[in-house]
Structure 1
């Protein structure tokens, strides 16, 4: 379950470098290279030590009893809305290194098939017996939306931002979750508006930093609503640590998008002065493109 920790929505990428995708017929499940499509996004529901995955059509990833091909062992994986959420929509994540296997309650695994049609791009559940297909049941988990726990303090108005003060740089960071589409306090309230030291914050000091979370390819959906934190100080290292805590992801690089060419560049040294609002992208350090855009790190 570790790879799904704090995950509200994920994309699943297989050994063929394709994503688990809900077909537009709202019944079939396939593989596609377009990971930015809404059809490749699956909402996660937790039930004890298992998960349920819901497509963009509000239908559950289902291990059916229908054979994929007559005479073959693999059975179809579909999208359904069962009258009762039974074991057919339950998947047990089994961690294997940095990948995961998704097992049904009856011991089969979610499998991304390769080869020639009709196997190509199909998705079944099965127990692979041939060595050549052993890796077809492994999936990379890209978290694209996280769950932010609610504070026991409810219905508290957002603290107002105040002008920048040099003294902020020495303060601990204080986190309050905002929605980028609303000025109101919408996602999470910090514990009684306190900093890490436990002392009250002074009227919501600091800046608001909105962020997207990129996958291992450095890709993210700009159409997705940004999450946001309130952050005091201007140290990039502290901001990175705070975002790792909020996102539940280790070893990330905080990047900003260049207004000139649209490329991502890691932030270095310090944040811009004047406590201005920022928009950043949180990228796993293992991202395929991290070395490329690290060459042009931005410092203020």
Structure 2
């Protein structure tokens, strides 16, 4: 029997006990601990003539999409976003997911054989693409607030917030304020006692 056969609405929880969350900007997708939130509910739509394949619609009427936008420079992982409905298009494979049973859990697989997952960096700043990240929604406005939130989420206190140069790919400490107007940015957390910290060039 296919997964989600009788489901009308689902909540998708990771093994970190966080739920897939449709961001209010109607574009991005994050993770949040509040599974009761409306943004954590995804309406299941079955794809005609494709048994076992579904689309997942957010509260904003947009669909969970496997985009071609890189997750990080130089990484093979791609972002998952909210995308507009297929409209007049007969099919849009980026919006289609196949729930696959994995023990007592389920994985979501794209039509191209890739799985829904997230990434995090190791002690050297490399990304393990088989690991799942810990994500949260940050609604603050400055670097100090972000630092406190990250300390709370990770349980680490000796952290440095870094950004990766889009040209060289190297890490540099973030010293300025956060970008305005909720602009998206990628950050990397580095512990002060780590090998990466010893290699950072602070000018």
Identify the TM-score tier after normalising by the shorter chain: 0.5 to 0.7
Q: Which residue matches 1:39?
A: 39
Aligned to 1:12, the other structure's residue is in SS state coil
Q: Which residue matches 1:23?
A: 23
Alignment check: 8 A CA contact 1:102 1:110 kept: yes
Post-superposition shift, 1:115?
A: 5.8
Distance 2:129 2:79 in 1: 18
Distance 1:68 1:129 in 2: 10
Post-superposition shift, 1:46?
A: 1.2
Aligned to 1:95, the other structure's residue is in SS state strand
Post-superposition shift, 1:43?
A: 0.1
Q: Which of residues 105, 111, 116 in structure 1 aligns to 2:117?
A: 111
TM-score where L is the length of structure 2: 0.55
- Say whether residues 1:97 and 2:103 are aligned partners: yes
Give unpaired runs (5+ residues) of structure 2. 123-127, 134-203
Q: Which residue matches 1:5?
A: 5
* Alpha-carbon distance change, 113 to 34 in structure 1, aligned in 2, over 3 angstroms: farther
Aligned to 2:116, the other structure's residue is in SS state strand
Provide, for residues 14-40 of structure 1, a one-character-per-residue CA deviation record: whole Å limited to 9, x for no partner. Answer: 011100000010000000000000000
Aligned length: 123
Alignment check: 8 A CA contact 1:14 1:112 kept: no
Q: Which residue matches 1:193?
A: none
Point out 4+ residue stretches in structure 1 off by more than 6 angstroms.
Answer: none
Alignment check: 8 A CA contact 2:119 2:129 kept: no
Q: Which residue matches 2:52?
A: 49
Greater alpha carbon shift after TM alignment, 55-64 vs 81-90: 81-90
What is the 5 A alignment of 1:249-288?
A: none
Post-superposition shift, 1:5?
A: 2.5
Distance 1:2 1:98 in 2: 14
- Say whether residues 1:79 and 2:82 are aligned partners: yes
Distance 1:129 1:68 in 2: 10
* Alpha-carbon distance change, 97 to 89 in structure 1, aligned in 2, over 3 angstroms: same
